[in-house]
Amino acid sequence: MTYFQKAIAYIRETQEMALFATMADARLSTAFRTSPLFYIMLPFIGFLLTLNAIANGYQLAKANNKNFDQWIFFITSMTCAALASISLYGAALSEILSFTFAAGPWFFFSSLIVGLASQLVMLGVNLYRASESPKGSIQHAHYIQNALNNSFVLSLLTTVLGAVIFVMLFPTVAPAAGSAFAITAVVLTALDILWQVMPQNKKQKIKEWFYINEPDLEQDATVYQKQNEMHANITNDEKEPQHHRMFTRCDYSAVVRKMEVDEAKNYLSALIRYKLDTFGKNVSLQDEKSKDKVVLLKKLLNVIDSPTEISKKNMIAMHPLAFQSFWAEKGEVEQLFDAVIVLQNKYQNEIRTSPVMISCS
């Protein structure tokens, strides 16, 4: 999330807290509807939702990897913004122009259903990604944290949905339940804002209390080193390596982090040659994306054999499709690229720390 999106989220959530608070009490709701704030706040929330959707679209357009996550965020935010804006603008206009907009709450209800559905999908995807990742790794902790975030957002959306149902759609059925849902929505929104503005060191302490913090690089490398024992000595003639997964890819940077330079060079060279052979055997994969991947993999092989500086920014500019992997946050080619960067750093450290003969006259 960019600073711009964070600013939008803070402003929107602050106004949503006020809106949910008015839904908790009939007298507050009546006073709010007769206040000038009603005609300002509702359209402004809709405007902020639209801005967020546009920002998600911009992020998708600029992303190195236009994957499933990026697309679902964009599509969901656009759909929710459209439905919620119809409801919020319609509610304000109906009061100004003195007409009944009975469909308004249903549009808001629909936007919440879309949001709930997308969060459920992402919860399932992140839990599956966590199950694919080695336990105790940074990757595993990252997806567990994502899944917990999805669960929290689901809880928040569910309480808002309950408030909409029992306050806006069916106010006479269970007004006490509507108030309870609205108050809970206020509390959860406040907690979300508090978490977003909390310093990183305090967030880290809370994660440690709940045992969901990410391990350090040394621990992460140890986890992958143990897992890699089952996949050692990969050659081009082997079958598909067991570490290939559907929604995630092996973190090769962690695998090579504790290797010696020569061992890491041999390991990455074998993997890249295997990948190149795989592309060569699948004629149907000879599209622009595959061609970009093949060219970049060949460049990585050259960098391993003859260490030279390589820039991810430059590689993306020259081969924009090389890092594309629809189902994974980071595709296999990008994982290999990052691992080669780690290898380069190891090589540079080895040169700096190697003993130098000093002659004395």
Residue 331 inside a domain? The answer is yes
Side chain identity at residue 82, one-letter code: A
Q: What is the dihedral of CA 82, 326, 329, 252, to 10 degrees?
A: -170
C-alpha atoms less than 13 angstroms from C-alpha of 163 in its C-beta half-sphere: 27
Res 126 pLDDT > 70: yes
Separation of alpha carbons 146 and 158, rounded Å: 18
Residue 40 inside a domain? The answer is yes
Same domain, 271 and 205: no
Give the lowest-confidence range in 18-32, 42-56, 271-285: 271-285
Q: CA 318, 319, 324: angle at the middle one, nearest 5?
A: 150
Residue 274: name the closest of 257, 304, 297 by CA: 297
Residue 79, number of CB atoms within 10 A of its CB: 17
Long-range contacts of 95-102 (CB under 8 A, 24+ apart): 95/33, 95/38, 95/39, 96/39
Last residue of a domain, one of 187, 210, 233: 210
C-alpha atoms less than 13 angstroms from C-alpha of 201 in its C-beta half-sphere: 0
Is residue 270 within 8 A of residue 342, CB to CB? The reply is: no
Separation of alpha carbons 340 and 298, rounded Å: 12
Residue-range definition of the domain harbouring residue 41: 3-210
Same domain, 205 and 107: yes
Give the lowest-confidence range in 61-75, 162-176, 221-235, 263-277: 221-235
Residues 6+ apart with CB under 8 A from 198: none
Same domain, 324 and 203: no
Separation of alpha carbons 15 and 24, rounded Å: 15
Last residue of a domain, one of 183, 210, 237: 210
H-only helix segments in 63-137 = 68-97, 104-132
Split into its structural domains, the chain has a count of 2
Residue 244's pLDDT is 56
Same domain, 184 and 272: no
Separation of alpha carbons 144 and 212, rounded Å: 7
pLDDT digits (tens, 9 = 90+) for 169-226: 998 899 999 999 999 999 999 999 999 999 999 999 999 999 999 999 999 999 988 8
What is the rounded end-to-end Cα distance, in angstroms, of the chain?
61
Residue 236's pLDDT is 42
Q: What is the dihedral of CA 225, 231, 234, 237, to 10 degrees?
A: -170
Last residue of a domain, one of 162, 187, 210: 210
Same domain, 164 and 259: no
Same domain, 27 and 81: yes
Can you read off the two tokens belonging to residue 151? 């669960």
Length of the chain, in residues: 361
Residue 13 inside a domain? The answer is yes
Res 239 pLDDT > 70: no
Same domain, 251 and 204: no
Same domain, 107 and 186: yes
Residue 83, number of CB atoms within 10 A of its CB: 22
* Stretch 262-275: mean pLDDT: 94
